[in-house]
Structure 1
Amino acid sequence: MTSIKNLNECGQSVWYDNVDRGLLDSGEMERLIELGVSGVTSNPTIFERAITASTAYDVEIVTAVQKGKAIQEVYDSLTFADIGRVADLLMPVFEQTNHADGYVSIEVSPALSRDTEGTVQEGRRLFRSIDRPNVMIKVPATEEGIPAVRELIKDGINVNVTLIFSVEMYKKVVDAYLSGLESRLSGGLPLSVASVASFFVSRVDTKVDKLIREKGLDESLLGMAGVANAKMAYKRFEELFSDDRFEKLKANGAQVQRPLWASTGVKDPRYSELLYVSSLAGPHTVNTMPPKTLDAVLGTTEGFSSMVNSQVTEAEEVLTRLGDAGVSLSSVTDELLTEGLASFEKSFQTLLQNLKEKSESLRG
């Protein structure tokens, strides 16, 4: 049995947090899908690395510039092409799993993270332009993003709600999904729309571990906060998707909004590369893995078992101990959201600037 198959038997889907033209042209993306990868995610940082550090896009950039396209249009043509190709490769998975898996995600512009209506319009534009039923639109979990999620779900557009760090925000994300489905149901529309809630893990440990060391706290707490926080989110998932509100939607064809574990590559080399895989495997979950983590999964002989819904009391105790020691998890998660938005905005602006410079150089 392959390691991915093992995770699948635990109820977890393995997605790949990476997209670039080289993966597509070489056949590597197709090979990974054959090995069991059942979805793909992207973000502005991934596209920045892919486009600016490669010559694979140069011909298309030249062609677009010669046609007089603006830089934003050039960016769209490059990313839409990649996302469309990945969606086509994943279409058999999408069909075989009855639309449970086989999705590829693309993010709305980070500049819209505090703009509800702008996010809705951009989400509609991206979904319409790429024109594949297995595309998910990534919307950040900001206060302004939450109503946009509800509206896009109401429109029948698949949504990957990203940059979720806190359990409180996670509950708002679930409510937005359910509210969108309820609007569709009241309008007599089918509930065949999918969503995942991307809950970030390793970044929590990075920030909390730093505080533990700065405050001279018990070092047995190192590397514990990220998994504990995620397990609290999963506990809420089990509660929210087993109550009467969801049961009514489920009876009319709705699927659960699966928790997706993001940022699952370890940032501290002292931790096992599989820390956020082995600890968070479980039913109705997705783990989107960066290249190094996926390589570790494919290369391991370690068996995985469902752990996300076990040792929950211990996870609660970890968070209680941190709180008692003066580590405010809510402050940590607020900071992480702000930093995540700023990081994606910087990557997006850097990419557009590099595209402009590259197009001028190639045109010359």
Structure 2
Amino acid sequence: MNERLGKMRELGQAPWVDELSRDDTRNGGLQAMIDDGIVGVTSNPAIFQKAVAGSDLYDDQLRELARDTDDPKEMFWGIAGTDIQEACDVLAPVYEGSGGVDGFVSLEVQPDIAYDTQATIDEAEKLHGMVDRPNLFIKIPATLPGLVAIEEMISRGKSINVTLIFSLERYREVARAYIRGIQRLVENGGDPSGVRSVASFFVSRIDAEADDRLEKLGRDDLKGKLAIANAKLAYRVYGQVFSGSRWRSLEEQGATRQRLLWASTSTKNPDYPDTVYVDNLVGPETVNTMPKKTIEAVMDHGDIQPVLTESLEDAVRLLDDLREAGLDYEEVTDVLEREGIQKFADPFNEMLDEIKNKGRQLVS
């Protein structure tokens, strides 16, 4: 095991990889990462688009799928389902060895239903049935309609990765939706001990958006600070939400806390250290999902210390300073949510076009 990834785990943080390809699952790449200390996988439409476009390992399956259907979405779910199943199987020993805490693989609902509650519920059920693995997370965006779907899926005993969270208020709503779902599950006689969830709180995109605005405001002195402060304050909310009597009662019946997962932790600005969104967010009961390049940087020179609960008063002051400087926090996070959906929708649609064209070529 890599020393730095091992230290993250000792300090209570689970390192996951934010990439997935058939080459990794079949040729030992994912197992090598597990040997280094990685204990989970996240995927999204952009990751699948990159994987399908860059490999011929999908050709045989695409050929078979194209003979049965000309619907590119059905073809996509066919190949995505296989990739996710294989990754779940590779990570099964991690899942079993951790008592169901880690070893998860995430598969996201299609982006164009992010604002449709019922369509999200229907697709989440379909994907859970299609993959049929206990260590599967279905990713659902934390839009307002998505929150209703998240609560419903949790109440049905399904494990969910809530994604595209940017603001403190939305994160609080996500945690409450999870608790309501667990409460309903228990009231209906279900067992909450088998349900797991993570709340994917996005980090570097916050700085990317805020820094552009701060530059226009002439406040370069405040650039590069909001993302980490925002995440630290989210962790404070986590401690508040999962400490009340209502939650303790559910915990006594077997419920587990919904962990915060730091997403978008690669550095967007080349002037910032390449491990800045890892080194500054290490703390217990959290996950950090990283692209391979960031994992390599962390393994080489990451500074892994338990710093997540440090400088909270500074984080509060920073948000006040940013507001006084003219930065509209709510507008920043609202824009990022809308853009986040679009950044997944565009590659998803491009991938569908590519799958359709490639399928036709393979059967012609």
* Structure 2 residues not aligned, in runs of 5+: none
Q: Secondary structure at the match of 1:13?
A: strand
Q: Which moved more, 1:48-57 or 1:75-84?
A: 48-57
Q: Is the 8 A contact 2:25 2:90 kept in 1?
A: no
Q: Which piece of structure 1 moves more, 246-255 or 58-67?
A: 58-67
Secondary structure of 1:6's counterpart equals helix
Aligned-partner residue type, residue 209 of structure 2 = K
Q: 2:198 matched to 1:196? A: yes
Match of 2:37 in 1: 36
CA contact 2:162–2:200 (8 Å) conserved in 1: yes
Partner of 2:199, secondary structure, is strand
Q: Partners in 2 of 1:303 and 1:297 — Cα distance?
A: 8
> Aligned residue pairs: how many?
362
Q: Tell me, yes or no, if structure 1 residue 210 matches structure 2 residue 204.
A: no
User: How far off is 1:69 after superposition?
Assistant: 5.3
Superposed counterparts of 1:54-69, under 5 Å: 54-68=55-69
The residue matched to 2:144 in structure 1 has which SS? Answer: coil
| CA-based RMSD | 1.1
**Which secondary structure does the structure 1 equivalent of 2:269 belong to?**
coil
- Opposite residue 39 of structure 2, the aligned amino acid is S
Q: 1:1-364 residue pairs with structure 2 within 5 A?
A: 2-68=3-69, 70-191=71-192, 192-217=194-219, 219-300=220-301, 302-364=302-364
TM-fit CA distance, 1:65:
1.3
Task: Write the letter of the residue equivalent to 1:280.
Answer: L
| 8 Å Cα contact 1:159-1:194 kept in structure 2 | yes
Q: Which runs of 4+ in 1 moved over 3 A?
A: none
Which residue identity is paired with 1:203?
A: R
Do the aligned partners of 2:70 and 2:356 also contact (CA within 8 Å) in 1? no
Give the counterpart letter for 2:283 in structure 1: G
Q: Distance in 2 between matches of 1:135 and 1:230?
A: 25
In structure 1, list runs of 5 or more residues that go unmatched: none
Cα deviation, residue 324, structure 1: 0.5
- Answer yes or no: is the 8 Å Cα contact 1:6–1:303 preserved in 2: no
Query: 1:53-101 CA deviation, whole Å, 9 max, x = no partner?
Result: 3222111111211234532221111000000011011111111111111
User: Deviation string for 1:223-280 (max 9, x for gaps)?
Assistant: 1000011111111001111111110111111111000000000000111111010100
1:72 maps to a residue whose letter is: K
The answer to whether the 8 A contact 2:164-2:202 is kept is yes
- Provide the C-alpha distance between the structure 2 equivalents of 1:81 and 1:237, rounded to a whole number of angstroms: 34
Preserved CA contact (<8 Å) 1:113 1:145: yes
Partner SS state of residue 83, structure 2: helix
Superimposed CA distance per residue, residues 283-338 of structure 1 (whole angstroms, 9 cap, x where no aligned partner): 100000011111111222x4411111111111111111100000011100000000
Does the CA-based 8 Å contact 2:61-2:79 persist in structure 1? yes
Distance 1:130 1:198 in 2: 21
3-state SS of 1:15 partner: strand
SS of equivalent residue, structure 2 residue 305: coil
Q: Which amino acid aligns with 1:212?
A: L
Q: Which residue identity does 1:6 align to in structure 2? A: K
Q: What do residues 179-227 of structure 1 show as CA deviations (whole Å, max 9, x unaligned)? A: 010011111210020000000000000011111111111x231110000
Does the residue aligned with 2:46 lie in a helix, a strand or coil? helix
Letter in 2 for 1:28: G
Deviations 1:129-184 (A, max 9, x none): 10001100000000000010000001111000000000000011001100010011
TM-score, length basis structure 1 = 0.97
**C-alpha distance after superposition, 1:333-358 (max 9, x if no partner):** 00000000111111111110111111
Distance (Å, rounded) in 1 between the aligned partners of 2:61 and 2:6: 37
- TM-superposed deviation, 1:49: 0.7
Distance 1:109 1:75 in 2: 11
Could you tell me how far 1:361 is from its partner in structure 2? 2.0
CA contact (8 A) 1:161 1:197 kept: yes
Q: Tell me, in whole angstroms, the C-alpha distance in 1 between the residues paired with 2:325 and 2:89.
A: 50
Q: CA deviation at 1:4?
A: 0.6
Contact 1:15 1:287 in 2 (8 A): yes
- Partner Cα distance (2:174, 2:8) in 1: 25
Calculate the TM-score normalised by the size of structure 2: 0.97
